[in-house]
Amino acid sequence: MRTPALTVPLVVFSSFLALTGCSKPTLDVPEAPTTIGQATPFTVNVHDAHGVSKLTSTLVQSGAQYQKTWQPSATTKGPDSSFNVELGTRTTPELHDGTAHLILEATSGGLLHKTTRWERDVNVVTQPPQISADSDQHYLYLGMADLATMNVTGSYTSAGVRVGDQTFRAWPMPGGKPGLFSLYAFAWNMPAGTIPMAYASNAAGNDVTTPLTVIFPKREQPVYTQHQIQITDQFMQKVLGELDPNGTGDPIARFVKINTEMRKANNKTLSDLRLKTADSFLWSQPFTRQAHSAAEATFADVRSYVYKGNKIDQQVHLGYDLAVTQHVGVEASNDGRIVWAAPLGIYGNCIVVDHGYGLQTIYGHLSRIDVHVGDMVKRSQVMGLSGMTGMAGGDHIHFAMQLDGVQIDPKEWWDAHWIKDHVVRRVDLPGFNQ
């Protein structure tokens, strides 16, 4: 009989709690810092039904505490507030290199001023890394690869070689030796005279570089072979039927779209396979060219596509077209691990073999694939049969190589003397005995 008498006080009390705000704010740091440098920015998002009164940051290092407070702006006084936080030695010069503990506290705008706490350890980095590169003379031409060694001291998160706008990772020297090395490429379309730079960066935003010593041939621009590809109605229908079976509209426009947009997307897929590379040499002998093959096209040939007397497109062919006989066994150019074995647009049935440290070989237009992703293959092992799938007009193997996602001229890698001079002389390649 007494229960109804309690209803009104309970309702009043619940209303009081709702009005005063007894819940805590929620705090989110979408890109939480792991390193604090001179001025490290990041965003803190806070939600509270009664608004946020303040956000406080505290850095604790060697027993000392360094605190800063942020107030919500006039435009973010509602339940959701975003704070642009910047911490570092610029505003707190007392910080020194080493570990610190970062604490963030958001305070509710409700009457009870509830707080939410977020914390993590961070690394304070006040100095940029230092880098030195080898003093070798690096002979380069367009489409070529090379290897550079370097030493990095201080705190760094990434290092390697930059060539123009392209970046090639550095790896620890094999066998536990001190230092780093980077296999890098001078792309077929890189502006002549671009100087490769060894670099090192850290999470505090510091970036240092040093140039490699490079010698370019007197004729810096190679003369790429020009080809005219005559497009027949039969070939166009073959390509459209295989690569755009449900498409409609002008056949020429559809063909050009395949040759441009699909080609670009397929090359992006190939480039992304660099993320599936091994951090070791999976090979120990020179790369081999398909046995008894004739080259119908070479690296960086410029192809003009002509249909009924009119040029409808132009593309650069970044590989070798190797022909033997129909449905010949496609041989692995070297030991490695399969990272792609499936259809890939213009390349048709395609296989990609990873050889470690970002170096990969590509085999296109196969009529049959006999390997699977994850398989280990040996040099000269047959992986499938040649064909004319994709943008192939006849039975052949499209053979290409890429280094950290940048396609390169394979011919140097077929040369044991070149490998000895450019790779083995600078890093240990176990088992190489040429």
Q: For residue 192, what pLDDT band results from cuts at 50, 70 and 90?
A: confident
Determine the number of helices (DSSP H) and then strands (DSSP E) in the chain. 5, 32
Q: What pLDDT digit, counting tens, does each position of 400-422 carry?
A: 999 999 999 999 999 999 999 99
Asked whether the beta carbons of 205 and 157 are under 8 A apart, the reply is no
Q: Which of 125, 148, 165, 166 is closest to 210 using CA atoms?
A: 148
Which residues, in sequence order, are CB contacts of 27 under 8 Å at separation 6+?
44, 45, 46, 104, 106, 116, 118
Phi/psi of residue 302, nearest 5 degrees: -95, 120
The confidence score (pLDDT) of residue 75 equals 61
Which residues, in sequence order, are CB contacts of 208 under 8 Å at separation 6+?
128, 129, 130, 131, 199, 200, 201
For 273-292, what is the mean pLDDT? 97
The confidence score (pLDDT) of residue 150 equals 98
How far is residue 124 from each of residues 33, 35, 60, 96, 344, measured CA to CA in Å? 11, 6, 11, 7, 45
Q: Which of 137, 107, 104, 109 is closest to 122 using CA atoms?
A: 104
The confidence score (pLDDT) of residue 13 equals 44
For 175-185, what is the mean pLDDT? 95
Average per-residue pLDDT for the chain: 91
For 127-132, what is the mean pLDDT? 93
Is residue 12 scored above 50 in pLDDT? no
For 356-380, what is the mean pLDDT? 98
Q: Which of 316, 317, 319 is closest to 290 using CA atoms?
A: 319
The confidence score (pLDDT) of residue 72 equals 86
For 216-239, what is the mean pLDDT? 84
pTM of the model: 0.83
Which residues, in sequence order, are CB contacts of 350 under 8 Å at separation 6+?
340, 341, 342, 343, 344, 362, 363, 364, 366, 390
| 323: enclosing H helix or E strand | strand 320-323
Q: For residue 58, what pLDDT band results from cuts at 50, 70 and 90?
A: very high
**Percentage of the residues of the chain whose pLDDT score is greater than 70:** 92
Q: What pLDDT digit, counting tens, does each position of 135-148 carry?
A: 999 999 899 999 99
Which of 3-17, 47-61, 80-94 comes out lowest in average pLDDT? Answer: 3-17
Q: Which of 210, 216, 206, 204 is closest to 182 using CA atoms?
A: 210
The confidence score (pLDDT) of residue 222 equals 59
Q: What pLDDT digit, counting tens, does each position of 319-361 carry?
A: 999 999 999 999 999 999 999 999 999 999 999 999 999 999 9
Q: Tokens 């006084």 belong to which residue?
A: 77
- CA 320 – CA 337 distance, rounded (Å): 21
- CA 38 – CA 325 distance, rounded (Å): 63
For 31-59, what is the mean pLDDT? 92
Phi/psi of residue 414, nearest 5 degrees: -85, -5
Asked whether the beta carbons of 405 and 371 are under 8 A apart, the reply is no
The confidence score (pLDDT) of residue 433 equals 75
Is residue 69 exposed (0-12), middle (13-18) or buried (19+ Cβ within 10 Å)? exposed
Q: Tokens 């707190």 belong to which residue?
A: 92
| 131: enclosing H helix or E strand | strand 130-133
- CA 76 – CA 84 distance, rounded (Å): 12
- CA 345 – CA 342 distance, rounded (Å): 10
Is residue 14 scored above 70 in pLDDT? no
Q: Which of 33, 122, 28, 157 is closest to 86 using CA atoms?
A: 33
Domains and CATH numbers, the chain: 3-124 (2.60.40.1930), 130-215 (2.60.40), 226-424 (2.70.70.10)
Chain centre to alpha carbon of residue 321: 27
The confidence score (pLDDT) of residue 225 equals 85
Is residue 164 scored above 90 in pLDDT? yes
Is residue 60 scored above 80 in pLDDT? yes
The confidence score (pLDDT) of residue 16 equals 47
Read off the DSSP letter of residue 62: T
The confidence score (pLDDT) of residue 330 equals 98
Structure tokens at 94: 């007392």
Long-range contacts, 226-231 (Cβ 8 Å, 24+)? 226/301, 226/302, 226/304, 227/297, 227/301, 227/302, 227/303, 227/304, 227/317, 228/303, 228/304, 228/306, 229/303, 229/304, 229/305, 229/306, 229/393, 230/306, 230/307, 231/255, 231/305, 231/306, 231/307, 231/312
Asked whether the beta carbons of 345 and 390 are under 8 A apart, the reply is yes
Q: What pLDDT digit, counting tens, does each position of 258-270 carry?
A: 999 999 999 999 9
Is residue 434 scored above 70 in pLDDT? no
